[in-house]
């Protein structure tokens, strides 16, 4: 996934949805301590900022230096670039001592990871007992009965340009390997659904579509998936450029030893 989101880093922050405050409160209620959290694949820090409301220190890491350039500052969040060349031991030392991390979060990113390697590192870092791993991601977007079929037709045109690892997200994380004990917030094969409401103008929604890696990849190959005609069709189905709509993002989450996925998949405790 290294470099996958570099080109659209500047628009990523405004284009992607924030997550409900209640979600972070729920995760915090499941950890026994609130000293240190690690937000993996932090991007511009959207999840890290929410986690920081409940933990004394949050370390947000990403393989993309371009994304981190747009990370939102927070007094309790420290952003670190973690290139794939880092060894497991180097990464563990980067984050902190083994057994000291109270919460590990992955928002809209775990499907890009090397699962065995990532889960091994998480197991080393999480506090035992009481540490939680939460992973979540969204795929389905519901706007209106008129807009949704038009959006599906557009989405279908993007399918050849996605990285194959996106399959777990498209399947609502139901096929995501998650070998941890459930804490009641979803489990392997049975992610917990979570609704994320967001109000957007059409321009804001269009910005989200332009931030998709498949749209960027298609453009690099000479195909503009968001041509003037396509944008016009989407705009008409939306109801016009000035209409602000309430969107529903369906998350899947897990929490373990802890895992959380957002369609919401699962949480587990170590």
Which pLDDT belongs to residue 26? 92
- CB-CB contact of 250 with 264 (8 Å): no
Please give the backbone phi and psi of residue 107, each rounded to the nearest 5 degrees, phi first: -105, 120
Alpha-carbon span 104 to 255, nearest angstrom: 10
pLDDT confidence tier of residue 268, bands split at 50, 70 and 90: very low
Which pLDDT belongs to residue 122? 96
Cα-to-chain-centroid distance, residue 218: 22
* Mean pLDDT, range 215-240, rounded to an integer: 96
What are residue 245's DSSP bridge partners?
200
Which pLDDT belongs to residue 265? 38
Tell me the pLDDT tens digit for each residue of 43-59. 989 999 999 999 999 99
Please give the backbone phi and psi of residue 267, each rounded to the nearest 5 degrees, phi first: -120, 145
Which pLDDT belongs to residue 267? 38
Helix (H) or strand (E) holding 267: strand 264-269
pLDDT greater than 50 at residue 73 = yes
CATH of domain 7-269: 3.40.50.150
pLDDT greater than 70 at residue 210 = yes
Which pLDDT belongs to residue 204? 85
* Mean pLDDT, range 13-41, rounded to an integer: 87
Mean pLDDT, the chain, integer:
86
pLDDT greater than 90 at residue 86 = yes
Alpha-carbon span 173 to 265, nearest angstrom: 7
Which pLDDT belongs to residue 259? 34
pLDDT greater than 90 at residue 184 = no
1: buried, middle or exposed (CB in 10 Å: 19+, 13-18, 0-12)?
A: middle
Give me the torsion for CA of 156, 162, 165, 168, rounded to 10°. Answer: -20
Task: Provide CB contacts within 8 A for 232, sequence distance 6+.
Answer: none
Tell me the pLDDT tens digit for each residue of 185-200. 888 888 888 777 778 8
């Amino acid at each position: 996934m290294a470099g996958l989101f570099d080109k659209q880093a500047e628009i990523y922050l405004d284009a992607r949805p924030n997550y409900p405050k209640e979600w972070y409160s729920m995760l915090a209620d499941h950890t026994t301590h609130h000293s240190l959290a690690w937000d993996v694949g932090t991007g511009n820090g959207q999840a890290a900022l929410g986690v920081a409301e409940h933990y004394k220190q949050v370390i947000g890491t990403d393989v993309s230096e371009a994304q981190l350039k747009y990370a939102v500052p927070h007094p309790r969040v420290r952003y670190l670039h973690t290139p794939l060349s880092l060894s497991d031991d180097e990464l563990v030392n980067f984050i902190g001592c083994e057994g000291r991390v109270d919460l590990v979060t992955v928002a809209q990113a775990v499907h890009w990871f090397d699962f065995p390697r990532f889960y091994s590192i998480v197991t080393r870092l999480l506090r035992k007992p009481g540490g939680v791993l939460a992973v979540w991601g969204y795929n389905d977007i519901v706007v209106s009965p008129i807009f949704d079929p038009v959006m599906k037709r557009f989405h279908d045109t993007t399918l050849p340009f996605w990285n194959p690892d996106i399959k777990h997200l498209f399947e609502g994380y139901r096929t995501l390997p998650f070998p941890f004990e459930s804490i009641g917030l979803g489990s392997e094969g049975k992610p917990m659904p979570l609704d994320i409401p967001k109000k957007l103008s059409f321009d804001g929604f269009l910005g989200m579509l332009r931030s998709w890696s498949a749209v960027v990849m298609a453009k690099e190959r000479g195909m503009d998936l968001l041509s003037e005609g396509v944008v016009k069709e989407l705009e008409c189905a939306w109801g016009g450029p000035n209409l602000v709509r309430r969107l529903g993002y369906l998350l899947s989450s897990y929490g373990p030893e802890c895992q959380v996925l957002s369609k919401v998949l699962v949480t587990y405790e170590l």
